[in-house]
Structure 1
Amino acid sequence: MSEPVSPPPLPVTWRPRRGRIVPYGCAVLIVAGSVIMAALIAEPFKLPDRVAIVLFACAVAFVLHLLGRVRVEADEEGVTIVNAIRTHRYTWPEVLDVTLLVGDPWPKIDFSDGRTIGAMGIQGSEKPRARRATAELAALIRERGEARNGQPKGGEPKD
């Protein structure tokens, strides 16, 4: 087993490294390429066509931005999970557990309302960083969450 990790000082933000470099790098290449292509494209294409090419590339860049902005933030009040489409905010008592199984794309966080949400801000493909970030988040949940002080998750103290 791995050694226990102490909770990091708050506030803390976990972001994927490759999960930001790839989408933003591709977005820059796509927009720059479309601008160059719009400037150099053959004559039958008029100004509206050229503008449409650049606007389409900007739309693709926006989708890539949604993928690049993912993160998990923890502060004194709770956890914010910023995924590609939605942002979720939970207070510490609502957070029960975090798990990252081998082969999972990102950890899953369990909440007291029965929800389980994937935290895309911690990428399972970045194995050592993902394990460390998950362990730090788990330590924060143990320290501040509903399951603190040796109590089982979601319930009564052990006898």
Structure 2
Amino acid sequence: MSEVSPLVIRPRKMRWYAWGAAVALLAIHTTVGVLLRIAETGVYFRISDQVAMILLGLIFAGLALLFTRPRVRVLGEGLGVRNLFAEKLVPWDQVVSISFPESSPWARVDIPDDEFVPIMAISAMDGQHAVDSIRALRAQVDERIGSPSQ
């Protein structure tokens, strides 16, 4: 088997949207937190309420940034698929094919017994980047497993 160059694929638009959402969430919560005590509304807001509002903004921004994590890597021992929370290593002997169903938001690794692992790194919203990514991934996977992907 010939040596295959390493391949790492990440989404494009999802990362931009995630960063935009994180900045917006933090800015809105910080603004509300700072302005919380400016006018008398009959409710007594304290400094702790302001700090809590800003901390909530940080938490929500951090959750939005989870969408910057997805990636897929071609490794020597298999495919490393990282989605929002964890990375899963799919060994080469478990990879049946790489597919991108027509109505699916992202690609997937088909594994035995009609199961699959979603690949959020190859997202339909990325358009041509997704097409180029799926072709590059299929080429390397086909070279590793010896059968053409769908």
TM band (smaller chain): 0.7 to 0.9
Q: Separation in 1 of the partners of 2:127 and 2:104?
A: 10
Question: What does 1:33-52 align with in structure 2 at a 5 Å threshold?
Answer: 33-42=28-37, 44-52=44-52
Q: Distance in 1 between matches of 2:89 and 2:108?
A: 15
Q: Give the aligned residue type for 1:39.
A: V
> Could you say what the CA RMSD is over the residues aligned between the two structures, in angstroms?
2.1
The answer to which of 30-39 and 10-19 deviates more is 30-39
String of CA shifts for 1:50-109, please: whole Å, max 9, x gaps: 111112112211221112211111123321111123321122222110111333200121
Flag the structure with higher helix content: 2
Structure-2-length-normalised TM-score: 0.82
Indicate the residue corresponding to 2:140 in structure 1: 140
Alignment equivalent of 2:18, drawn from 16, 20, 23: 23
Q: Which has the higher strand share?
A: 2
**Number of aligned positions between the proteins:** 141
Quote the sequence identity (%).
26
TM-score by length of 1: 0.78
Distance in 2, matches of 1:75 and 1:87, equals 13
Give the secondary-structure state (helix, strand or coil) at the position aligned to 1:81: strand
Structure 1 segments of 4 or more deviating over 4 A?
A: none
Contact 1:100 1:131 (C-alpha < 8 Å) held by counterparts:
no
Q: The residue matched to 1:119 in structure 2 has which SS? A: strand
Pairing of 1:41-120 with structure 2 (within 5 A): 41-42=36-37, 44-112=44-112, 115-120=115-120
Unaligned runs of 5+ in 1: 1-8, 154-159
Uncovered stretches (5+) of structure 2, i.e. residues with no partner: 39-43
